[in-house]
Amino acid sequence: MSDQEYVAYGLPLIEDDDIAGVLDSFRSGWLTRGPKTLEFEEAFAAYVGAGHAVAVNSCTSGLHLTLAGLGLGTGDEVITTPLTFVATVNTIIHTGARPVLVDIDPYTMNIDEKKIEQAVTSRTKALVPVHIAGYPCDMDSIMGLAGRHGLKVVEDAAHAVYTQYKGNMIGGIGDATVFSFYATKNLVTGEGGMITTNDEALAENLRLFSSHGLSHGAWNRYTSQGSWFYEVLAPGYKYNMTDIQAALGLSQLKKLDRMQKRREDIARHYNEAFADCPSIELPADSPDVRHAWHLYIIKLNMTEASVDRNTFIEKLKEKGVGSSVHFIPVHYHPYHREYFAGARYPVAEEVFERIVSLPLYPKMSDRDVDRVIQAVREILR
């Protein structure tokens, strides 16, 4: 099969304005955190309606920075979901705290809000809900529960730039929200992430810790108004974003709504095409939310489907369609199997056997979309 015929699983949309922005940053001679990063932070905070934004070099470092910045450490417990990318759980482990997994809701595939309360102990300090595929968790019940037990809420919004929950943008709801701009995400900077919060002191602290704990960032030292002097106020990390990445972030943010409209079109097209297919359960959606459609995850209905999930993926590939699985449950990985000592999460395990992520990105042509639909229907006929 030629590359032209193959419908790739995911591709970023990089256009002339993105390239021009990055070149401009090269020409300016300012490569690391500087004016473009500050501009991107402001623009992003405004976009999600949060008071503050701190740009970092990945969502993973942003999660670690935020959890550490909120004071989590040895002896603490943090509740999250088994159906996520391992970074959500690993960054909790990095702080010294213990991740506690709570099984998922079979429809939304987000953490099952009804099961969180029974996992709360006197050691629980924070909740890390993950908005899987860009469909938001039930934030009313999560914030209510956090309030009753005095817990911090750090949202893993790697999939949820553009997501709204009951009319509110994800990014201004929890104590802090962390986004990913990894190459496959809805807004890309290659590698990169953003922490948003309404807590000014937390934002200042995160900024400090993102760059060695220096009292003055490079932008305040190397410019004509700057001074050579700095002090180290804390043993910080090296997690800051660069201006090269921020240049890409700025141009991507300008076109985000357009890219999202295309994602919505494709998702609607898939929904219509698969509505009459008994082998397929469509992705969660609801009039209460605005879905970011980072992923289009179908669940095979195993009593109806003629093939199992792995065969389905193989056959898609034979027909020139890339796909993926989000996610292998965290406790299935060799390290985490041992860490969680054989714990079981039956809903996540059952759902995992049936999920497939179909291609969904703005760069897909109508023809690509039709080819995916045709391939899926042929395999499941």
Ligand X SMILES: *Cc1c(COP(=O)(O)O)cnc(C)c1O
Strands (E), 102-175: 124-127, 152-156, 164-165, 168-169
Among residues 85 and 293, whose Cβ is nearest to ligand X? 85
Burial of 227 (0-12, 13-18, 19+ CB in 10 A): exposed
Q: Is 180 in the site for ligand X (CB under 6 A)?
A: yes
Catalytic-labelled residue, pool 125, 185, 299, 319: 185
Q: Within positions 131 to 170, which residues make up the interface with ligand X, using CB under 6 A?
A: 156, 158-159
Rounded-to-integer distance, Cα 375 and Cα 370, Å: 9
Rounded-to-integer distance, Cα 178 and Cα 284, Å: 22
Among candidates 158, 210, 199, 164, which has minimal Cα distance to 37? Answer: 210
Q: Within positions 84 to 103, which residues make up the interface with ligand X, using CB under 6 A?
A: 84-85, 87-88
Shortest separation between residue 27's beta carbon and ligand X, angstroms: 27
Q: Is 58 in the site for ligand X (CB under 6 A)?
A: yes
CA angle 216, 218, 219 (to 5 degrees): 95
Q: Is 182 in the site for ligand X (CB under 6 A)?
A: yes
Please work out the total of residues on this chain that contact ligand X, with binding judged by CB under 6 A. 14
| Residue 185 annotated as catalytic | yes
Binding piece for ligand X, criterion CB under 6 A, among 82-90, 212-220, 226-234, 339-347: 82-90
Q: Is 130 in the site for ligand X (CB under 6 A)?
A: yes
Per-residue binder mask for ligand X (CB under 6 A), 355-374, x = binder = --------------------
Q: Is 53 in the site for ligand X (CB under 6 A)?
A: no
Residue whose pair of structure tokens reads 């759980």 in the numeric block: 89
348, 104 contact by CB (below 8 A): yes
- Residue 300: which H helix or E strand, with range? strand 296-300
**In the complex, which residues of this chain contact ligand X (CB under 6 A)?**
58-60, 84-85, 87-88, 130, 156, 158-159, 180, 182, 193
Enzyme catalytic residues: 185
